[in-house]
Amino acid sequence: MSALALEGVHKSFGANEVLRGIDLSLEEEEVVCLIGASGSGKSTLLRCVNLLEPLDAGRILLHGEEITRRGVDVNHIRQRIGIVFQAFNLFPHMTVLRNVMLGPREALKLGREEAEARALELLGRFGLADRRDDYPDRLSGGQQQRVAIVRALAMRPQLLLLDEVTSALDPELVGEVLNVIRELAEGGMTMLIATHEMGFAREVASRVCFLDAGLILEEGPPEEIFSHPKEPRTRQFLERIVQAGRL
């Protein structure tokens, strides 16, 4: 059984059809990278999986359970799927520790001590222990994004969605965030990653999907997609990336 399966997913915003029938499945411990130009539907796809956007058609299954059916407890589903956003979206009025503890405390209903222990363990593991009492706006972008990842991990999700998590960072801060994701991949976290970091995708992904105009145009192992793309549009996209010096 797949950890995640999308079947014929359609999503429009008004007249703009963003996803035009996406079929995709992830196995347990698999890392799949979504690549493609801005506006190809990567972020929308991730937001649909986390039920932040309702589908127009199609269905999504998490470990065989359809999470897009009517009457599903979305809060319960979202507890099992973590998402990290491009712009961090940390809660600015809470310290780092409280940011991380909020989900476990209020959604998982853990006791204070247990939630705090869980948060501190994760913050320590990612080198953020000394930042526990700081407010997000005192942290660098890289630190903020690492806190956002820790915040998602504190829920112990079965699946982690990463939405261009390094795109808002200064170049010198990208590495520390990618290291965290690399470590998660090695630890067996199932991840669906929308990214512009092609070198990184090549390194960590078990599979790469090229999204174009709301469809998965081509998918396969990274060597195949990056070295021998079959589709002309994939080739075009990768050529532009190479020209921009990003691969």
Partner 1 sequence: MASEGDRRPDLEVEARRSRLLGGLSLEAEGARGVAIALLSTALFLTVIVVAISQSPGWPEVHRVFFGWHDITSTFPEIARAFVLNVKIFVVCEVFILVFALLIAVLRSLPGPVFFPLRALAIIYTDLARGVPTILVIALLGFGAPALQLQGVPTSRVFWAGVGLVLIYSGYVAEVYRAGIESVHPSQEAAARSLGLSRAKALRFVILPQAVRRVIPPLLNDFIGLQKDTALVGTLGVIEAFNQSQIDANATFTFGSYLAAAVLFVAITIPLARFTDVLIARDRRRRQASGAFA
- Work out whether 156 is an interface residue with partner 1 (CB under 8 A): no
Residue whose structure tokens are 């399966």 = 5
SS3 69: coil
- Work out whether 112 is an interface residue with partner 1 (CB under 8 A): no
Q: Compute the least distance from the CB of residue 137 to partner 1, in Å.
A: 4
Contact (CB, 8 A) for 63 and 122: no
Of 173 and 225, nearer to partner 1 (C-beta) is 173
What values do phi and psi take at 53, rounded to 5? -125, 130
| Burial track 34-64 (b if 16+ CB lie within 10 A, e otherwise) | bbbbeebbbbbbbbbbbbebebeebebbbee
- Work out whether 158 is an interface residue with partner 1 (CB under 8 A): no
Among the listed residues 44, 19, 42, the one whose alpha carbon sits nearest the alpha carbon of residue 32: 42
Among the listed residues 196, 176, 200, the one whose alpha carbon sits nearest the alpha carbon of residue 126: 176
Of 138 and 230, nearer to partner 1 (C-beta) is 138
The span of 2-10, 105-113, 117-125, 228-236 binding partner 1 (CB under 8 A) equals 105-113
x/- contact string, 75-104, with partner 1 (CB under 8 A)?
A: xxxxx-xxx-x-x-xxxxx--------xx-
- Work out whether 138 is an interface residue with partner 1 (CB under 8 A): yes
x/- contact string, 211-240, with partner 1 (CB under 8 A)?
A: ------------------------------
Of 12 and 79, nearer to partner 1 (C-beta) is 79
| Dihedral over Cα of 178, 184, 188, 189: its sign | negative
- Work out whether 50 is an interface residue with partner 1 (CB under 8 A): yes
Cα separation, 82 vs 66, whole angstroms:
17
Positions touching partner 1 (CB under 8 A) are 47, 50, 52, 75-79, 81-83, 85, 87, 89-93, 102-103, 106-108, 135, 137-138, 151-152, 155
